[in-house]
């Protein structure tokens, strides 16, 4: 059997798992304001030549689906933000970096919800975790579902792109239609909307607690 055939015979899709391969040499190439650039020579197959892999480092992030409304007629909060690399105004869900050392993940999500849209929530659950671009970045992102929303008395000051943001409540079903019509492109929004839509269809029974393990 070939190596590919051996690997396939041992594979059973039961979920992602951490893995380690021999790193022959590691090089740090560059540091930016948020991301860095690393380079590894990795041996994937015993006795074979190592392969070269470059990837960006990233602190990780959290995002929030803020949900309100009666059952079957729920709305989610979307915010429009200018994203310079793609030269586009994108409709997104509140999100932010895990850039405060030691901050609990749900506390970071609560902070972002307050800072970006002046809301707090009394009910929090984990919707979904994912790597944003695992072929070239270590960035991982956790999306929380926030319900039982309350408006804050305090309005936060917003700077740079956030100063230009506007928000809109959109029916969940309409947001799903926008995705399949090719009208929404932000990965957190697309993932969060579809995860919420599916969670509702399953009666919210598979939502995870906020302290659930996160592979990152």
The catalytic residue positions are 162
In three-state form (DSSP H/G/I as H, E/B as E, the rest C), the secondary structure along the chain is CCHHHHHHHHCCCCCCCCCCCEEEEEEEEEECCCCEEEEEEEECCCCCCCEEEEEEECCCEEEEEEEECCCCCCEEEEEEEEEHHHCEEEEECCEEECCCCCCCHHHHHHHHHHHHHCEEEEEEEEEEEEECCCCCECCEEEEEEEEEEEECCCCCCCCHHHHHCEEEEEEHHHHHHHHHCCCCCCHHHHHHHHHHHHHHHCCCCCCECCCCCCCC
CB under 8 A, 24+ apart: contacts of 10-13: none
Cβ atoms of 76 and 189 closer than 8 Å: no
């Amino acid at each position: 059997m070939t190596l590919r055939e051996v690997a396939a015979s041992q594979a059973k899709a039961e979920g992602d798992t951490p893995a380690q391969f021999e790193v022959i040499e590691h090089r740090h190439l560059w540091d930016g304001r948020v991301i860095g650039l690393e380079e590894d020579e990795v041996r994937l197959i015993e006795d074979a030549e190592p392969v070269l892999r470059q990837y960006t480092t990233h602190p990780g992030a959290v995002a929030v689906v803020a949900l309100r409304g009666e059952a079957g007629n729920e709305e989610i909060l979307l915010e429009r933000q200018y994203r310079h690399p793609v030269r586009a105004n994108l409709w997104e869900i509140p999100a932010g970096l895990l850039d405060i050392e030691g901050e609990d993940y749900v506390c970071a999500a609560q902070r972002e919800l307050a800072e970006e849209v002046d809301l707090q929530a009394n009910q929090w659950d984990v919707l979904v975790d994912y790597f944003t671009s695992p072929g070239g970045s270590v960035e991982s992102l956790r999306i929380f579902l926030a319900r039982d929303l309350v408006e804050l008395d305090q309005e936060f000051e917003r700077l740079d792109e956030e100063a230009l943001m506007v928000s809109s409540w959109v029916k969940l079903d309409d947001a799903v239609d926008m995705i399949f019509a090719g009208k929404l492109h932000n990965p957190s929004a697309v993932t969060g909307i579809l995860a919420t839509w599916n969670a509702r269809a399953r009666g919210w029974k598979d939502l995870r607690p906020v302290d659930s393990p996160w592979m990152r």
